[in-house]
Amino acid sequence: MERRRSVYMDYAATTPVRPEVLEAMAPYFSERFGNPSSLYALAREAKEAVEEARGRAAAAIGADPGEVFFTAGGTEADNWAIKGTALRGKGDHIVTSAIEHHAVIHPCRALEKQGYRVTYLPVDEFGRVDPADAEDAIADETILVSVMAANNEIGTIQPIRAIADIAHDHGVPFHTDAVQAIGAYPVDVDDMGADLLALSAHKFGGPKGAGALYIRRGTRVGTFMDGGAQERGRRAGTENVPGIVGLGRAIDLATADIEGHSRRLAAMRDRLIRGILDDIPDTRLNGHPVERLANNVSVAFRYVEGESILLLLDALGIAASTGSACTSASLEPSHVLTACGLPHEEAHGSLRLTLGSRNTEEDVDYVLSVLPGVIGRLRDISPLRGEA
């Protein structure tokens, strides 16, 4: 076996802050510490930095700066889009998909407890929503359609524009959780037909706890965080100035060379997928074979448990995931994999490897050299084996 390495393949969970981003943020913790709402030069400096970041974020997604509102991350942006629409909407029905991130599913569940009705659109075996199902689901009372741009567990990219067009035909606003899409492929709010769009800095080389909600001008969304007049009175709370500066710098860098970056990652992804499927029997690819994120490898191994795979990989220096970081502590099988029709025992045996800027071909070689042994060992001791 090869010498032990240290390999991080969990970029869908979080990414390291880029050195240039950290450098841009640093002064706003120390000498430029001013509160943007105050009235002196130090404060204006901070205010200008926030507005510069807003301009960068807006440019990256084809929006006007006045349509970008900073939040404390992707979860807050999704909550704001959904609960904020409910606050202002005139109906009580929401359409979303069965494979959304918990940042969308759980606010929907919370609204259900308050009497709202939610339709969770099914997906096919590759994790794709059929736009025709969205058409069927929309009713007179529908106030929002929310479908994610790209899935964090299986990497499937959704036919967002078709779904948005259907929502608009019925006069319903369209929200998309684009947290995994930013930096992975070009994102443009007009091309996507998004009225609301959530993004998160730590998924593209920025800091944790900084995100944004794009709100198309004229979209009715209630205020979600009440307090001071920050963010034009729509999201109260002293701005996370260093985080916002980091978001602005990171989104610039992440969208500068999307094509070259994703081509490099896709080559490594494809080598991993082919190597795993060729070398390990009773294995299948989760998600869509083509319409998938360039950095996502998600595979299901029969007769083994995802958590045991992670433990053995961790001992070999490899950081990976079974799917969503939020579900990995629970014994429930992933709602995404079960929505794709995987039987529970296969959903339990899934492994997600997500690639990023620091990965190399040597990392791929290392994973491919150790993984067959890991799966083989687990299958040798598996009580599930032979039942089939």
Q: Which of 288, 280, 327, 286 is nearest to 304 (CA)?
A: 280
Integer Cα distance of 263 and 285 in angstroms: 20
Contact between 207 and ligand PLP per CB under 6 A: no
CA 137, distance to chain mean position in Å, is 24
**Binding window for ligand PLP (CB under 6 A); candidates: 135-143, 200-208, 275-283, 371-379:** 200-208
Enumerate the β-bridge partners of residue 71. Answer: 211
> Total residues contacting ligand PLP (rule CB under 6 A)?
15
CB-based burial of residue 65 (10 Å sphere; 0-12 exposed, 13-18 middle, 19+ buried)? middle
Which of the stretches 57-65, 84-92, 155-163, 173-181 binds ligand PLP when contact is defined by CB under 6 A? 173-181
203 is a contact residue toward ligand PLP (CB under 6 A): yes
Residue 152 C-beta: closest distance to ligand PLP, Å: 4
Residue 148 Cβ, how far from ligand PLP at the closest point, in Å?
A: 6
Closer residue to ligand PLP, CB minimum distance, 180 or 382:
180
CA distance 1 to 235: 54
Q: Give the helix ranges, DSSP H, for 70-101.
A: 74-88
User: Is 97 or 230 the residue whose CB approaches ligand PLP more closely?
Assistant: 97
Q: Is 289 helix (H, G, I), strand (E, B) or coil?
A: coil
Across 137-164, b (16+ Cβ under 10 Å) vs e yields bbeeebbbbbbbbbbbbbbbbbebeebb
* Range in contact with ligand PLP (rule: CB under 6 A) among 37-45, 55-63, 69-77, 136-144: 69-77
Q: In whole angstroms, how close is the CB of 4 to ligand PLP at the nearest point?
A: 29
Please identify which residue in 75, 79, 286, 382 interacts with ligand PLP, judged by CB under 6 A. Answer: 75
**Residue 340 designated active-site:** no
Based on the shown chain and the rule CB under 6 A, indicate whether residue 103 belongs to the binding site for ligand PLP: yes
Quick one: 178 or 375, whose CB is closer to ligand PLP? Answer: 178
**Contact at 8 Å (CB) between 121 and 96?**
yes
Give me Rg for the CA atoms of the chain.
21
> Considering only 196-204, 212-220, 287-295, 309-317, which stretch makes contact with ligand PLP by CB under 6 A?
196-204
CB of 175 to ligand PLP, least distance (A): 12
180 binds ligand PLP (CB under 6 A): yes
Question: Beta strand pairing status for 142-146 and 93-97?
Answer: parallel
What single-letter DSSP state applies at residue 321? B
Pick the catalytic residue: 59, 98, 319, 326? 326
Q: Counting Cβ atoms within 10 Å, is residue 20 exposed (0-12), middle (13-18) or buried (19+)?
A: middle
Identify whether the C-beta of residue 204 lies closer than 8 Å to the C-beta of residue 251. yes
Does residue 73 bind ligand PLP (CB under 6 A)? yes
Choose which of 49, 154, 172, 179 interacts with ligand PLP (CB under 6 A). 179
Residue closer to ligand PLP, measured from CB, 61 or 148: 148
Which residues contact ligand PLP (rule: CB under 6 A)?
73-75, 78, 101, 103, 148, 152, 177, 179-180, 200, 202-203, 211
Q: Catalytic residue numbers? A: 326
